[in-house]
Amino acid sequence: MADGPGTPAHFVKMNLGFCPSPSGGALALYQEEEVHSCWLTLRGYGQEAGETSAEFWALITIRGVVQTVFGYPNEESYLKDDRGLDEVGIFELVGSAWPAKLQTYNDATFGASKRSFGHLHHFFVGSKDVSVQALAQDLELELFEINIDIQLEALRRLRRYRYESPPLDAATEAQMRRYREEVGRRHLIVPEAGS
């Protein structure tokens, strides 16, 4: 199945030393408007040299998020995908059409767009009953002991990010600055004195 123009799209497993629980990893997504990162929590097992170890929580940080999809497809569906998914796990869809489709939409909506999405990665995290897909800059995974309240840690990081945002890469920052200058002026609301 070709996903992108002339390029056969295929999933590449990201070897991060972790495998989601095949019986259900309690996958959850934590995301908020105007925050350019999101966090996933997922239960599973550590993996080294193909050997499965103790159970852990994974906290996955996805940075430079442009779009996410949470829910379907589930394991029964995505394991039948002919682009290389044959197990639960964390993958990148190489050759994905998602960036091009978003570019086409943006160009049709705003005219010749100055924002480019071609440098972004299509990440796919597959658990038993749900999956998460993210179009983003990068992904990082941390493992925590199973007795930690991992959901609370994800929310803590979301709140911290909201008020202490790390810098974006130079190209994204420049694009956002141009966007604010061009589009933001049209939507500027100036509060009245005393309000």
Determine, yes or no, domain membership for 88: yes
Does pLDDT of 42 surpass 60? Answer: yes
- Per DSSP, which regions of the chain are E strands? 2-4, 7-8, 10-13, 18-20, 28-30, 37-48, 51-63, 67-71, 89-94, 121-126, 131-136, 138-145
* Lowest-confidence region among 2-6, 31-35, 109-113, 152-156: 2-6
Determine, yes or no, domain membership for 7: yes
Average of per-residue pLDDT values in the chain: 79
Determine, yes or no, domain membership for 176: no
Determine, yes or no, domain membership for 191: no
pLDDT at residue 65 in the model: 95
Q: Which two tokens stand for residue 187?
A: 């939507």
Determine, yes or no, domain membership for 109: yes
pLDDT at residue 195 in the model: 41
pLDDT at residue 29 in the model: 95
Determine, yes or no, domain membership for 183: no
Q: Determine the structural domain holding residue 130 and report its residue range.
A: 2-167
Determine, yes or no, domain membership for 186: no
- Per DSSP, which regions of 66-191 are E strands? 67-71, 89-94, 121-126, 131-136, 138-145
* First CA to last CA distance, the chain: 57
- Number of domains comprising the chain: 1
